[in-house]
Amino acid sequence: MSDLNTQVRALFDDYGRISDQALTDPQAADFDRLADAFAEHFVGSAPQGVFAGTNDDKLRAVIPQGFAHYRKVGGKRMLLQGLQITPLDELHAVAVVDWEFAYENKARKAGTIRFTNFYFVTIASGEPKIFAYVTADEQKAMKDHGLA
């Protein structure tokens, strides 16, 4: 496995572990490490639109708030279920990440939402960093499962 693949895999192994911990044991979750997974500047795209972000104090405040929202609507686990890495060159790759979000909705019914995100990663700085990502319609999926 190439150094790029090894670094990207390690990034998402860590990201997945901390994301799950953010739901199961938020006091122990290292939210700064989640923020550290992102480049200084990054781009996100979802059905609601495209936005640019900066890895700053605002991002570090928003990440725990996002997981608090997931817990509030019934989130129990966030598990990385699959990872496919496609190198683009020696420094860049696309990581296709399959996630499983386990929940208990307001009616106390347990279920899961499976979704795939696409992350663009660079190791140009010497460490893997997410500089762009594409996500599915999370809001619609949560509404369809009685979570919103």
| pLDDT < 50 stretches in the chain | none
Domain definitions of the chain by residue range: 3-144
Whose tokens are 């460490």? That residue is 127
Residue 106 has what pLDDT?
Answer: 85
- Distances in Å between the Cα of 55 and the Cα atoms of 8, 22, 35, 51, 52 are 19, 19, 7, 13, 10
Pairwise CA distance, residues 91 & 5, whole Å: 10
Q: What is the pLDDT of residues 103-139, one digit of tens each?
A: 998 888 999 999 999 999 999 999 999 999 999 988 8
Task: Report the amino acid identity of residue 15.
Answer: Y
Domain 3-144 grouped into CATH 3.10.450.50: yes
Q: Which residues of 59-71 are buried (b: 16+ CB within 10 A; e: fewer)?
A: eeeebbeebeebe
Its pTM stands at 0.93
Residue 61 has what pLDDT?
Answer: 96
